[in-house]
Chains A and B, each alone.
Chain A
């Protein structure tokens, strides 16, 4: 019964007739859903989502980030401590990033990271009640785009939802913006987007586009990007 998938629920709403997997007769409850005895209740306001075969969750706007293993995030280095860096990722606790977890780093060859730098990293450990740990290398020991970001640009803070939205392959925001101007970007799942355009004007334009597009549909995004490109070109 996938009928109320896609509809809005408020905390405390009862959800029934969820589709269970055929093999195990189980339902997987994701964020925002809670089991109480034999009832399934929502604990967050938002839209019920479903993924085959039996995964349900509530899609809700949220500002606070909760670390998840494997998430790529943008963190700010706050402290150097012995052989780890402390990195603020916007979660309730800061994460650690071992200096060895950079491409080409050895005990001798420490990476050049300063306090206040932005790092694009991935969670290797993210458990409840434990300190999360970041790495800047993939399983082959390559940086794969991760590492310190230092050559200018701006770090934009937005909602977690917005990040999910721009990373959605169906979303046209970054593609459309990219048609009109060249820019580099790194999108962290923790609600931070680093943007660097060719000049300050373009960077500001992109940040503003990001800021306003949170609740826009694709069509609206397209027209907004068009207007933006026009105004940048000086019409």
Chain B
């Protein structure tokens, strides 16, 4: 699919904004977007977000034969995938010119800067070496993939652990992960790419161009640098003339940016390390920020509770629980944060039921809410007739207004003898 063309209106606006020394997203000229580094559960898996741009890098290793010319060197292989998921104009399979350029730049930055000690990857000279492969997947493209990818690649490389190897005579043993602790790769330094976009024949300069700015820019300069101020890559593209001062200024900015990013990577790695050693949860799932979406909220649904009493009597018999002693209370019991029940029965017996007949709903009930409601209806939740799974849905406060339904073959919804106490009868919602 073709890329969305840039309208003249956008182009003019972006240029005039830049000429005004501002940026559309409110950043300053030398500001990076927000960088977020997240690791996967596996070693060597790292996802980096740069604003909305997102790149995932995965490092893997295998034992191969070395190259004839370099019998004692391991091999580092880099592969960039630009999937149509990131941007509809990317084609799957063959790499576009853009993709080749990206791949090449990353290779120059990471492979040819010799930041990875390839000699330490040798197992038996001339026969067996480790091949380290970095797969870089671009997940979303909102400009400046290169910087994002270079951060992801180098962080993944540092994060990675390869299995330990022992050589005794001719025998090579590759130890399983639980047999011996895997060893980190020896990474000498961390080169990071910093992109500069130039406008108006190099008159204006921006760090970390986003999508629109990338489309409008005259040219781009990429500086690959490590925190020891060593330049690993330098590339200038586009048709513009640059002054010597501009290049020097860029490298000075790059020093600062690389310093900052290196620290960020270091802290991210430290955090992951402590999380792993202390046995806390780690990985992507843990790093998802919860309760981010604040809307999609519906108004409070009021429920008629009169019908429920009837239902309960029917279902009571089969359950006839032992918890009925404390049954005469009709207060809201808060079991734990976010979970509560109405009526007696204290503890929830549904959780223990081994048949898949039950439909469970535990809306969380705000302490004082007078209009709290328990959505308990007989037939209403009988979805998915043959579902074998049994699940409980615990809703938290923000979800309160949504009804959750759980598949189950139930025709019985049990709620032990619930008598409406604080309910406000005569509500609109009627069960059918």
Contacts and interface: CB of A to CB of B under 8 A. Distances in A.
Given A1-B380, A1-B432, A153-B13, 15 more contacts: A6-B298, A6-B301, A6-B401, A7-B298, A8-B296, A13-B383, A14-B384, A15-B383, A47-B296, A92-B1, A200-B13, A200-B17, A204-B17, A215-B295, A216-B294
B4 A88 contact: yes
Contacts of A92: 1
B431 interface: yes
Contacts of B167: none
Interface residues of A, number: 41
A208 B26 contact: yes
In this complex, the interface size class of chain B, counting residues with CB under 8 Å from chain A, is: 35 or more
Contacts of B405: 4, 7
Interface string B1-25: 1101111111111001100101011
A1 B407 CA distance: 17
A23 to B, nearest CB: 19
19 contacts: A1-B432, A2-B429, A3-B432, A6-B402, A8-B404, A13-B383, A14-B407, A15-B383, A76-B6, A76-B7, A116-B5, A116-B9, A117-B8, A117-B9, A154-B13, A204-B24, A204-B26, A215-B294, A217-B295
B372 interface: no
Given A1-B432, A204-B26, A208-B26, A154 B9 contact: yes
B297 interface: yes
B384 A76 contact: no
A207 B24 contact: yes
A3 B403 contact: yes
A153 B9 contact: yes
B293 interface: yes
Contacts of B432: 1, 3, 17
B9 A149 contact: yes
Which A-B residue pairs are the 9 nearest by beta carbons?
A: A116-B8, A6-B298, A7-B402, A154-B13, A76-B7, A1-B432, A7-B403, A215-B293, A14-B383
B377 A88 contact: no
Interface string B377-417: 10110111000000000000000011111010000000000
A2 to B, nearest CB: 8
A157 interface: yes
Contacts of A47: 296, 298
A204 B8 CA distance: 17
B9 A152 contact: yes
Interface of A: 1-4, 6-8, 13-17, 47, 76, 78, 88, 90, 92, 114, 116-118, 149-150, 152-155, 157, 194, 200-201, 203-204, 207-208, 211, 215-217, 220
Best-buried of A1, A47, A114 by chain B (most CB within 10 Å): A1
Contacts of B293: 215
A150 B24 CA distance: 19
Interface of B: 1-2, 4-13, 16-17, 20, 22, 24-26, 292-298, 301, 375, 377, 379-380, 382-384, 401-405, 407, 429, 431-432
A88 B5 contact: yes
A90 B88 CA distance: 10
A152 to B, nearest CB: 7
A155 B7 contact: yes
A76 B5 contact: yes
Contacts of B297: 217
Contact of B4 (A2, A154, A157, A200): A157
Nearest to A13: B383
Contacts of B4: 76, 88, 90, 157
Quick one: which of B2, B5, B407, B432 has the most chain A CB within 10 A? Answer: B5
B404 A7 contact: yes
A169 B404 CA distance: 28
A216 B295 contact: yes
A15 B380 CA distance: 11
B383 to A, nearest CB: 5
B9 A3 contact: no
A92 B405 CA distance: 36
A171 to B, nearest CB: 10
B380 A17 contact: yes
A23 B292 CA distance: 43
Contacts of A215: 292-296
A197 to B, nearest CB: 11
Nearest to B405: A4
Contacts of A6: 298, 301, 401-403
Nearest to B7: A76
Contacts of B402: 6-8
A150 B9 contact: yes
A149 B9 CA distance: 9
